[in-house]
Amino acid sequence: MRDSNARLDRLEELTFFQEERIAALDTALAAQQRQLDKVERELAMALASIRRLRDQLRDVPENTLPPHYMPERW
């Protein structure tokens, strides 16, 4: 009987610590997911900016004179 009680106490102890570990892992996973969501949003904004800049550069001819160049002065 005493051996059974000791085994039951040990199982309850292990269960308690496993529940604590699971709660800690859940907290860490939730924080990591929030961080991942933030990084994904920032990446999407950066890609949108790059695409917008690429579209703006596409409209500019490659061999144009700089804006400060005024041939009428020469």
| pLDDT of the residue at 62 | 72
Residue 31 covered by a domain: yes
Residue 59 covered by a domain: no
DSSP E strands, the chain: none
Residue 33 covered by a domain: yes
Q: What is the pLDDT along the chain (74 residues), one digit of tens a residue?
A: 789 999 999 999 999 999 999 999 999 999 999 999 999 999 999 999 999 999 888 877 777 677 677 666 55
pTM: 0.61
Q: How far apart are CA 11 and CA 60, in angstroms?
A: 72
Q: How far apart are CA 53 and CA 47, in angstroms?
A: 10
Q: How far apart are CA 30 and CA 10, in angstroms?
A: 30
Q: How far apart are CA 41 and CA 36, in angstroms?
A: 9
Q: Structural domain tally of the chain?
A: 1
Residue 62 covered by a domain: no
Residue 27 covered by a domain: yes
What domain range is 35 assigned to? 1-48
